Every structure is written in C-alpha cells, then in structure tokens.
Amino acid sequence: MGPPPLAIRNLSSTPLELKVIERFETPHVHEPKGFANITRNVTHFVVSNTTGNVPPEGPNFAPLTANAQSYGQQEVSIRIDPFTTNRTDINTAERSEKDVLRLTFEYDGQRYRVDTRTTKQSQELIPLDPDPRKQYTAIWIDKESHLAIYSSANMSCWMKEMADATPLSGLSIPGTHNSPTHHKALPSVRCQAVSPKEQLRNGVRFFDIRVQPEKPEDPNNDGLALVHGVFPISLTGTKPFRKLVNDIFDFLRENPSETLIMSLKREGPGEHTDEQLSNILHQHYANDPNLWFTEPRIPSLGESRGKIVLMRRFALAEPLTREHDGSGWCLDAQNWAYNTPCDNHGAVCVQDFCEVLETENISKKIDFCCEHFERAGAQVCPVPGITTDAVNPVPPGPLYLNFLSASNFWKVGCWPEKIAAKLNPAVTEFLCTKHDTAEGDKKGDGGVGIVVTDWVGKDGDWDLIRCIVGMNSRLELREKR
C-alpha cells in the first residue's frame, strides 16, 4: 500500500491556491562506500547496542539539482483557505514513494514554490516573482503526505506582529526546560543543545531556571548558581545566574518588541530556603520596574515588552506577601501537583507528567502533551476592544504550561535527549496535522500556550519552535481586522 494522497494544511492568515504540480524522480543519494561505509555500520551497531536506541533511518532526502528534469507536470486550481486542510486526490508516488513533488502556490498574483521529500527540516517557499509581499515556511510530514504551510516569522522579533493589548496567556510561546543546561554535564542533567542566547535568537520566549543561593545567610550577597536538581549544570565549574540575566537583557535591548517569561525555582544542595531566595531576587535582581514585571497578574504584551516577567515557583518572605496592596509578588506558580497530566494552580494550568520510567511510557507522555494543546487551543484570548470590552475587559485566563520534558535518571533510554528525540518529532507532526482540527463549531484561537521543550535547535532543527510561533497566526489575523 502506497502513501496517502497529498494533504495541504494552510496555517497562514492568507488564502493559497495550488497552481502547478511537477514530478521528479528522487535525486540519487550517495551512500558512503568502502571504509566510510564500514565505519557507518559499526557506529550504528555500537550506538544501538550500547544505548538501546537505534538511530532513525527514515528516507534519505536530497535536494533537486538545478538541471533536474520533471517527468510530469499538471496545472491545477486547488484553493486552501486560511486555517483549513485540503485533502486532495493527488497521488504523491506515481513512480516511487520517494518521488519529489514540486508544488507552486499563488497568493495575490504572486507565486511561491516548494519541493517535497528534499529535506527533513522546514524550508522557506521560494518566491517566483520579484518583490514578494509574503513569506511562507513549509514542513513536510512524509508518512502522511502532508504539507503544512505557515507564515514565516522573524524569529528574533516575532512578538512585534502582535498587538500591545494581547495578554501573554493568549500567545503561543516556545519555551525551554532547564534552559541554561547546554554545557558539558551528566547526561541526565543536560536538557538543551544550544545556549540561551541562541534559543532567544530562534524564538524561545520562556525560560525555566533552577538556582541555588550561594551564601543565603548574607543579605548583601547576590550569588545564585544555576543548577538542575542537586547537580551543577556544568562539569567545568559554577555558572552564575547573573551572567544569564545579563545575556537576556542584552537580547531585549536589541529586540525591544520582545519579552521573556522566566520561571524560577530553588534547587541544589545545602541549607537555604525559598524565603531567602525571594529576598535575594527582590533586593539584588528584580527591583527595576523598567526591566522586570513582578506584579502578581498576567500582563499584556505592551506592559511587558523589553522586560523579564517573573514567574515564581518558590514561597515568599513575609514582607513580600504585602507587595502590590497585599496581593503578593510575581506570578504565582508555586505549588502545582507533581507529575500531573493537568493541574490548575495560581496563574497557570499545567501539564508536567515528568516521570517516564520506561521508554514504553513515552507514548503516554505524548498523549498528555497533545491533550493539553487542545485545552489551550479552545481558549479565546480576551483582547480589549477586539474580543472583549475595551473599558472593562474580561481578565485573561491562565497561562497554559505544557512541559514536553521528562526523564528517568536510572534508564539511559529515558534521559532527556533520548526522550526529546522521540517526543519532539511526534509533537511537531501533531501540530502540523491534527491540532485544532476537530469537527464542529470551533470558537477558540487555536493557540498552544507555553510549550516547554528539551533539546530544540539540535543540528539546526528549529521546526518545533517555528510550529509553535506559527500558531499565533489566527489571533494575529483577528487583531488586525
């Protein structure tokens, strides 16, 4: 049985029309020969037998050459409206399941082209006219013969397109779990492939940070070490929280349209308390309202541009409970249920099922993640003057926090990198093909909330982050009408 017919999902805010289909035989992929092939096979054997995980083989995609000749061309007129899927009857494998389809789309008199089965990562549609007015990004899901098309975003300043009045809880926001853990470290400690600075440049706007007070008894000491559980995040020495904060503000100064939500939690060995941490943060860090948003409510984007929005997973020292007319200090995310598939607490609604004790449970984790996407997608963002009264607006709902992270220290196949290698592609596929596609009267914005990821950006793969940012298109369209 061959692959299913071509399906095209338009997740952009503009209608698209498929105009031309060209077919090419798959480009020849040069397999390594001789010693290189022996090395490749030995590496495959060693990796699969020492970790229990076989590297994914998948199709060997390769781009078409400049002089590639098509063996078939067809002119069509297939319209795909914004936020809809058109399941065509177009065969994607006339000669072979590896055939390349070159698809030409049109919007507003301008044409854009994309080739399927030529890369495993997202690709920009190539404009065929000078001075293109739009930019699009496509992700091809091969086993589904499914092409998802997004409006391209400048990932270093994607929040610029959203209205100031938008509550942060209405946005689809990419995040990272244990964000600064990209250093050489124990495999169960390391959760990220690239640095926080690179994460920010590629669209991440939520950081999950764990810190250990270094001298908690000294109120004049601002030392906070970055940790993961009881371990330091690097085998080469302590990494300070202050350096991370400075890097964030450097980015925000260069991109003043952006904000960063920072979740902070106290971890690490030694004698220290939440109350001591709260005092250190209040006295030495989050004391400038031009740089930090520390009110205990969900702000609008306009209120938080250029700032760190502080979300606390720690208790407050008693004087700080009297801040802001007795309502406290910072967004409260202190006590959600441990290992939860869904819990409402304070300012957040959380999926954080984190104890994946066996590799067989990864599918259970994926299901919980996707269910939480649908909860977030059903929400309507109360934008004053657009979806709610401008003078007396409905208050924003909770921040939907969806942790894609999980691990088991004692099982190699359940270390963060191993789980992310399975979970991230599965979630990307779900967002491209299934999220917010239920039949019936859909009233929600189709967002996904804050999605907290492991190991994004590995080998330059930012597809999951691009998918998350792309889910803001429906809300963006509503705001601009």
| pLDDT tens readout for residues 193-207 | 999 999 999 999 999
For the ranges 31-45, 204-218, 388-402, the one whose mean pLDDT is highest: 204-218
More confident residue, 77 or 60: 77
Question: Can you give the pLDDT at residue 23?
Answer: 97
More confident residue, 66 or 365: 365
**Could you give the angle at the alpha carbon of 460 between the alpha carbons of 455 and 463, nearest 5°?**
75
**Could you give the angle at the alpha carbon of 304 between the alpha carbons of 299 and 308, nearest 5°?**
110
Question: Can you give the pLDDT at residue 412?
Answer: 83
Is the C-alpha dihedral spanning 91, 94, 98, 102 positive or negative? negative
Q: Are 62 and 56 in contact (CB under 8 A)?
A: no
User: At residue 142, does pLDDT exceed 90?
Assistant: yes
Is residue 30 very low, low, confident or very high in pLDDT (cuts 50, 70, 90)?
A: low
Is residue 46 very low, low, confident or very high in pLDDT (cuts 50, 70, 90)?
A: very low
- For residue 148, the tally of other CB atoms under 10 A from its CB is 26
Question: Can you give the pLDDT at residue 385?
Answer: 86
- Report the 3 state secondary structure along the chain: CCCCCCEEEECCCCCEEEEEEEEECCCCCCCCCHHHHHHHHHHHHHHHHHHCCCCCCCCCCCCCCCCCCCCEEEEEEEEECCCEEEECCCCCCCCCCCCEEEEEEEECCEEEEEECCCCCCCEECEECCCCCCCCEEEEEEHHHCEEEEEECCCCCCHHHHCCCCCEHHHCCEEEECCCCCCCCCCCCCCCCCCCHHHHHHCCCCEEEEEEEECCCCCCCCCCEEEEECCEECCCCCCCEHHHHHHHHHHHHHHCCCCCEEEEEEECCCCCCCHHHHHHHHHHHCCCCCCCEECCCCCCEHHHHCCCEEEEECCCCCHHHHHHHHHCCCCEECCCCCCCCCCEEECCEEEECCCECCCHHHHHHHHHHHHHHHHHHHCCCCCCECCCECCCCCCCCCCEEEEECCCECCCCHHHCHHHHHHHHHHHHHHHHHHCCCCCCCCCCCCCCCCEEEECCCCHHHCCHHHHHHHHCCHHHHHHHHC
Question: Can you give the pLDDT at residue 441?
Answer: 57
- Structure tokens belonging to residue 52: 């229990």
Per-residue pLDDT tens over the stretch 416-454? 999 999 999 999 999 999 999 876 556 799 999 999 999
Architecture per CATH, domain 158-480, reads as Alpha-Beta Barrel (3.20)
Is residue 54 very low, low, confident or very high in pLDDT (cuts 50, 70, 90)?
A: very low
Per-residue burial over 95-131, b if 16 or more Cβ lie within 10 Å, else e, is eeebbbbbbbbbbeeebbebbbbbebebbebebeeee
Is residue 284 very low, low, confident or very high in pLDDT (cuts 50, 70, 90)?
A: very high
Per-residue pLDDT tens over the stretch 89-111? 999 999 999 999 999 999 999 99
Q: What is the mean pLDDT of the chain?
A: 92
Question: Can you give the pLDDT at residue 35?
Answer: 43
User: At residue 34, does pLDDT exceed 70?
Assistant: no
User: At residue 319, does pLDDT exceed 80?
Assistant: yes
| Nearest of 100, 109, 85 to residue 23 by alpha carbon | 100
Question: Can you give the pLDDT at residue 64?
Answer: 86
Looking at residues 327-348, what average pLDDT do you find? 95
- For residue 223, the tally of other CB atoms under 10 A from its CB is 17
Question: Can you give the pLDDT at residue 28?
Answer: 66
Q: Are 242 and 211 in contact (CB under 8 A)?
A: no
| Nearest of 149, 139, 234 to residue 185 by alpha carbon | 234
Question: Can you give the pLDDT at residue 410?
Answer: 76
Residues 6+ apart with CB under 8 A from 116: 92, 100, 101, 102, 103, 140, 142, 147
- For residue 229, the tally of other CB atoms under 10 A from its CB is 15
Look up the pTM and report it.
0.91
Q: What are phi and psi of 270, to 5 degrees?
A: 100, 175
Question: Can you give the pLDDT at residue 168?
Answer: 98
CA dihedral 194, 196, 202, 203 (to 10 degrees): 140
The domains of the chain are located at 7-27+62-151, 158-480
Question: Can you give the pLDDT at residue 442?
Answer: 65
Environment class of 32 (CB within 10 Å of its CB; exposed 0-12, middle 13-18, buried 19+): exposed
Is residue 29 very low, low, confident or very high in pLDDT (cuts 50, 70, 90)?
A: low
Residues 6+ apart with CB under 8 A from 284: 222
